Amino acid sequence: MGIFSALFGGNKTSEKVTDLLQRGALIVDVRTPQEYKAGHIKESINIPLDKIGGKVNDLKRKNKPIVTCCRSGARSGMAADQLRRAGIEVENGGPWNSVKAMM
């Protein structure tokens, strides 16, 4: 899908992620603790995907937009969907190193 975005008008998702980051978004890395320890964005917090549902109220209380990330973007997409359904402003940032490069 990325090549099509590049060929036909840019990547709206990265624009949205950049906007949220500029607005002080909380970065939530949904990988396992072991993956997170192997490398992560310094400003991020680690909430594994299987725990994200139980953290919705905590995240809402922070009153910040959220950018989710993981290794490839699949888990962070699932997490973003859960948070969006809970009424949180969120965007899937995809791979954590891509989010780091946007900062």
pLDDT tens-digit readout, 17-52 = 999 999 999 999 999 999 999 999 999 999 999 999
Task: Tell me the pLDDT of the chain averaged across its residues.
Answer: 91
Question: Which domains occur in the chain, in start order?
Answer: 2-102 (3.40.250.10)
Mean local confidence (pLDDT), 3-17 = 63
- Name the residue among 3, 5, 53, 45 with its Cα closest to residue 28: 45
Angular region, 30: left φ>0, alpha ψ -120 to 50, beta rest: alpha
C-alpha span between 70 and 74 (Å, rounded): 7
What integer pLDDT is reported at residue 12 of this predicted model? 80
C-alpha span between 25 and 30 (Å, rounded): 15
